[in-house]
Amino acid sequence: MAVYHGPVCRLCRREGKKLFLKGKRCSSAKCAIERKRKRPGELGKGYMRKETDYGRHLREKQRVKRMYRLTEHQFRNCFERASRKKGVTGEELLRELELRLDNVIYRTGLGRSRMEARQLVTHGHFMVNNRRVDIPSYVLGVADIITPRKSKVPARIEDALLMKVTPPRWISFDRKSLKIEIADLPRRDDVQEEIEERLIVELYSK
């Protein structure tokens, strides 16, 4: 299944929670969740289906996959890598997702959404350890350094910086030079979104 390219606000309404796919708009009164408190489609609010255990597991997986803007194949690959590690599988899965290059750009505030951060990476605006990297799924490690590739910063990055996002503890960010360094591995409590990774692990373990 390819990445969804339709109206992303429908995805938030389908999951019933904010996925923060449109940057600043998600924190404003224009957010679709705030304006339309019903699921998309003709049936919308008037149609309630009894949720099964499998349905809860599937919805959580779909929500997290859409939040990080991954295809099913990419998400399963992340899970398989996490399951081969020695730590708790759910926490390792979140660590894999957080250490993606596009997510780090988003967490630092250089992209207003993960989708915009992904575009910035694919357009070659960043270097990792002095090497140009245009792969959003590139997994970073401790002590890796990300810097802008060109001396002139794109206007989109300048606009994103106006939001003054505070990076998480594990990212060191110099706002003047736009230098990013992975200071530590992300921990479970560094992920502020409400994610029940246990449900995802149980779904893939069936």
Answer yes or no: is 1 within a domain.
no
CATH of residue 175: 3.10.290.10
**Residues 16, 42: one domain?**
yes
**Residues 127, 154: one domain?**
yes
Buried b (16+ CB within 10 A) or exposed e, 51-79: eeeeeebebbbbbbbbbbbbeeebbeebb
Tell me how far apart the alpha carbons of residues 13 and 74 are, in angstroms, rounded to a whole number.
23
Could you read off the pLDDT of 103-131 as tens digits, one per residue? 999 999 999 889 899 999 999 999 999 99
Residues in contact with 97: Cβ distance below 8 Å, sequence separation at least 6, in sequence order:
64, 68, 70, 78, 103
Percent of all residues in the chain with a pLDDT value above 90, rounded to a whole number: 57
What was the pLDDT predicted at 158?
Answer: 86
**Residues 36, 53: one domain?**
yes
- For the chain, the domain total comes to 2
SS3 10: helix
**Residues 105, 169: one domain?**
yes
Could you read off the pLDDT of 53-88 as tens digits, one per residue? 898 999 899 999 988 989 999 999 999 999 999 999
**Residues 13, 91: one domain?**
yes
**Residues 107, 181: one domain?**
yes
Mean pLDDT to the nearest integer, 12-18? 64
In this prediction, residue 1 has a pLDDT band, given cuts at 50, 70 and 90, of: very low
Q: Which DSSP helix (H) or strand (E) runs through 170?
A: none
Residue range(s) defining the domain that contains residue 119: 100-185
Better-scored residue on pLDDT, 82 or 151: 82
**Residues 177, 165: one domain?**
yes
What was the pLDDT predicted at 156?
Answer: 85
Answer yes or no: is 35 within a domain.
yes
